[in-house]
Chains A and B, each alone.
Chain A
């Protein structure tokens, strides 16, 4: 339809027999206006020459003069008996485009739609436009009123009151000693301290190992890694206390002879050393394939019959030990209940086959197991990441080291699992715990670069004497039998 109008337009253009009423005023008209109502520009012929272009671009106005009575600043639609389009306000190009397009209206849209669809499929894996989103109505009632999201309580835990039962002994709430541990690596998976039976505390600070003599208080630097990028991932004393095994980030284990300081014994690991190897899951006696991720907790049972390992895969495996063994082992027990990495692994010294394990941030539980039956004897929520557990040899208790938010050590009574005390002081999460040879002091090292010694298992003198007597009796028997 429009083409006819257009044609009419063209004709009108060519003819120009009537003035174009709604065009902006020509220059001379404007001038006339300025000078005031003067002589009317009469006699100007409609055929005033102007650039007449038949192009589709803006046609310049050619307004033949009308009588000056019409002062117009903006073009207005003239009255009249026919439609005269205002060409200058028309967009010729657009009109043309649309016109030519009209015949093929579907041309542009489908291809574009196809493209968009392809993009959508690529991005979403399917055509999102085509997908319907459904929601199942009739949702069950939410958690009951007054239920506060448990997680909040977890992470902003206030001091819990100690057990109501009166403690039979005094446990100092302040550490006995605080040592500086600069540059200690804040890595949950490393084992950076160990206390020897000869009363030396070995501490690994990044790439060096220092020995602290508890009796004399002197500090010796034992070694330093040559390579700057290599750091120490674990330290462990041999039972006799004269050799220190040092594990490095380059997957190497070194044995250091302490008595002849600086001399290094090159040797393979034997079963006597309590090994805490972090990155290596398949080592030691044979291939112990039970963990699919790093092993972070490793402990021999006190009678040497079992090896308990905790991994980053939340599993706890208990392996049997056969002398001079080779070949593949299968764990006698696998515990899956922990919901987080198990680094804290400890055997009970006074009850056979009892193992304590602690889970990481996602789990926060301490569990006690009987490895023969595989039963979980008890579980308690510690409300915080558990990095280490140590059983006391002096009391029927164990101590656990924690991280966020309290960074505390907690003493628990076994088997009632009640809290005996909480030792606060560290300002960042505890990484490792180790016990003194006499069982009275626990050393904890934390990410706040301090090492604190807590005298929490102090024996009262009478009991101490009894114990010593018992111990000496035992050892004498052993000596006799060896001879």
Chain B
């Protein structure tokens, strides 16, 4: 609790920023899974976050899986070696990639050398994150229906020379051919900047 308080009043540190962004990814991915109907809506529960009511999964396996990703992201964000997180939605039967949510991360590497925290209120960051999550929800109005049952995949773009940790394997980018792309809002913590785009057939 002490640390959190410190974060709120003192501005943004590199570790704080990494946590904020990793947290955003966790809720963002949950929102996508709910909104796009990848998992049944009954398996989601409502939580309050960012001044919004968000839906997160109750499925223990899925929660576990996402927690792994979040923890790993925190670490990599802190080291500024992760560049992109992608949620790939593909049809289970055909394996065709139908939707691709891409979160680009720009990391200000000088933050590592910074003496003190940076000036940006938590509230301002929260507001920005809120806008992005609302946009993700709103995309359901124009994204094409996902007819068949779909599965999702998480891809992370990291620095080339990073040692691949256990449980992770290398993969291709899984692009969509001839896709439409929509760029959503971005948010920044002054240390990490996240841009969101969604590509669909």
**Residue positions of A touching B, CB distance < 8 A:** 125-126, 128-144, 147-152, 155, 313-314, 336-340, 361-362
A149 CA / B91 CA spacing, docked (Å): 11
Considering the complex, which residues of chain B in the window 139-180 have a beta carbon less than 8 Å from any beta carbon of chain A? Answer: 140-141, 145-151, 153-160, 162, 164, 167-173
A128 CA / B160 CA spacing, docked (Å): 9
Instruction: Indicate whether B59 reaches chain A with its CB closer than 8 angstroms.
Output: yes
B160 engages A130 (CB within 8 Å)? yes
Task: Kindly identify which residue among B37, B106, B141, B171 contacts A135, using a CB–CB cutoff of 8 Å.
Answer: B171
Smallest Cβ-Cβ distance to B46: which chain A residue? A337
**Residue positions of B touching A, CB distance < 8 A:** 35-41, 46, 48, 51-53, 59, 61-62, 64-65, 68-69, 72, 83-84, 92, 104, 106, 134, 137-138, 140-141, 145-151, 153-160, 162, 164, 167-173
Q: Which residues of A contact B48 (CB under 8 A)?
A: 336
B154 engages A136 (CB within 8 Å)? yes
Known: A140-B62, A151-B145, A337-B46. 10 other contacts (CB 8 A): A133-B156, A135-B156, A147-B39, A147-B40, A149-B38, A149-B145, A152-B145, A152-B146, A313-B134, A339-B137
A155 engages B69 (CB within 8 Å)? no
Task: Kindly identify which residue among B37, B65, B155 contacts A134, using a CB–CB cutoff of 8 Å.
Answer: B155
Q: How far is the CB of A169 from chain B (nearest CB, A)?
A: 35
A314 engages B146 (CB within 8 Å)? no
Q: Which residues of A contact B40 (CB under 8 A)?
A: 143-144, 147, 150
Known: A137-B169, A142-B92, A336-B53. A132 touches B160 (CB 8 A): yes
Scoring B162, B171, B173 by chain A CB atoms within 10 A of each residue's CB, the highest score goes to B171
Top 4 closest pairs, chain A to chain B, by CB: A135-B171, A140-B61, A149-B37, A130-B160
B157 engages A132 (CB within 8 Å)? yes
A128 CA / B140 CA spacing, docked (Å): 30
A362 CA / B136 CA spacing, docked (Å): 10
Q: Which residues of B contact A313 (CB under 8 A)?
A: 134
A143 engages B38 (CB within 8 Å)? yes
Smallest Cβ-Cβ distance to B195: which chain A residue? A125
A139 CA / B84 CA spacing, docked (Å): 19
A125 engages B140 (CB within 8 Å)? no
A152 engages B147 (CB within 8 Å)? yes
Q: How far is the CB of B172 from chain A (nearest CB, A)?
A: 7
B157 engages A131 (CB within 8 Å)? yes
Known: A140-B65, A150-B37. A134 touches B170 (CB 8 A): yes
Smallest Cβ-Cβ distance to A314: which chain B residue? B134
| Pairs across A and B, CB under 8 Å, 16 listed | A130-B160, A131-B157, A131-B158, A134-B156, A135-B156, A135-B169, A135-B170, A136-B72, A143-B38, A143-B39, A147-B149, A149-B149, A151-B37, A151-B145, A336-B53, A337-B46
Q: Which residues of A contact B156 (CB under 8 A)?
A: 133-136
A9 CA / B69 CA spacing, docked (Å): 68
Q: Which residues of B contact A336 (CB under 8 A)?
A: 48, 51-53
A141 engages B61 (CB within 8 Å)? yes
A82 CA / B116 CA spacing, docked (Å): 79
A149 engages B65 (CB within 8 Å)? no
B168 engages A137 (CB within 8 Å)? yes
Smallest Cβ-Cβ distance to B72: which chain A residue? A136
B65 engages A136 (CB within 8 Å)? yes
Q: Which residues of A contact B134 (CB under 8 A)?
A: 313-314
A152 CA / B41 CA spacing, docked (Å): 13
B38 engages A337 (CB within 8 Å)? no
Q: Which residues of B contact A125 (CB under 8 A)?
A: 83, 104, 106
Task: Kindly identify which residue among A132, A142, A155 contacts B145, using a CB–CB cutoff of 8 Å.
Answer: A155
Scoring B41, B53, B153 by chain A CB atoms within 10 A of each residue's CB, the highest score goes to B53
A155 CA / B141 CA spacing, docked (Å): 11
A150 CA / B150 CA spacing, docked (Å): 11
Q: Which residues of B contact A314 (CB under 8 A)?
A: 52, 134, 137
Smallest Cβ-Cβ distance to B163: which chain A residue? A132
Q: Which residues of A contact B137 (CB under 8 A)?
A: 314, 339-340, 362
A338 CA / B145 CA spacing, docked (Å): 21
Q: Which residues of B contact A362 (CB under 8 A)?
A: 35, 137-138, 140-141
Known: A126-B83, A139-B65. A151 touches B140 (CB 8 A): yes
Q: Which residues of A contact B72 (CB under 8 A)?
A: 136
Q: How far is the CB of B25 from chain A (nearest CB, A)?
A: 13
Scoring B48, B61, B134, B146 by chain A CB atoms within 10 A of each residue's CB, the highest score goes to B134
Scoring A130, A131, A132, A338 by chain B CB atoms within 10 A of each residue's CB, the highest score goes to A132
Q: Which residues of B contact A143 (CB under 8 A)?
A: 38-40, 149
Q: Which residues of B contact A126 (CB under 8 A)?
A: 83-84, 157
B158 engages A139 (CB within 8 Å)? no
Scoring A147, A313, A337 by chain B CB atoms within 10 A of each residue's CB, the highest score goes to A147
Smallest Cβ-Cβ distance to A127: which chain B residue? B160
A480 CA / B72 CA spacing, docked (Å): 75
Task: Kindly identify which residue among A129, A139, A144, A339 contacts B153, using a CB–CB cutoff of 8 Å.
Answer: A139
Smallest Cβ-Cβ distance to A338: which chain B residue? B53
A396 CA / B61 CA spacing, docked (Å): 45
Q: Which residues of B contact A147 (CB under 8 A)?
A: 39-40, 149
A129 CA / B35 CA spacing, docked (Å): 33
A142 engages B149 (CB within 8 Å)? yes
Smallest Cβ-Cβ distance to B52: which chain A residue? A336
Task: Kindly identify which residue among B104, B140, B149, B167 contacts A136, using a CB–CB cutoff of 8 Å.
Answer: B167
A140 CA / B68 CA spacing, docked (Å): 12
Q: Which residues of A contact B53 (CB under 8 A)?
A: 336-339
Known: A138-B65, A150-B37, A314-B134. A131 touches B164 (CB 8 A): no
Task: Kindly identify which residue among A132, A152, A340 contacts B164, using a CB–CB cutoff of 8 Å.
Answer: A132
Q: How far is the CB of A69 from chain B (nearest CB, A)?
A: 63
Known: A130-B160, A131-B160, A136-B68. A150 touches B41 (CB 8 A): yes
Q: Which residues of A contact B154 (CB under 8 A)?
A: 135-136
A126 CA / B162 CA spacing, docked (Å): 15
Smallest Cβ-Cβ distance to B84: which chain A residue? A131
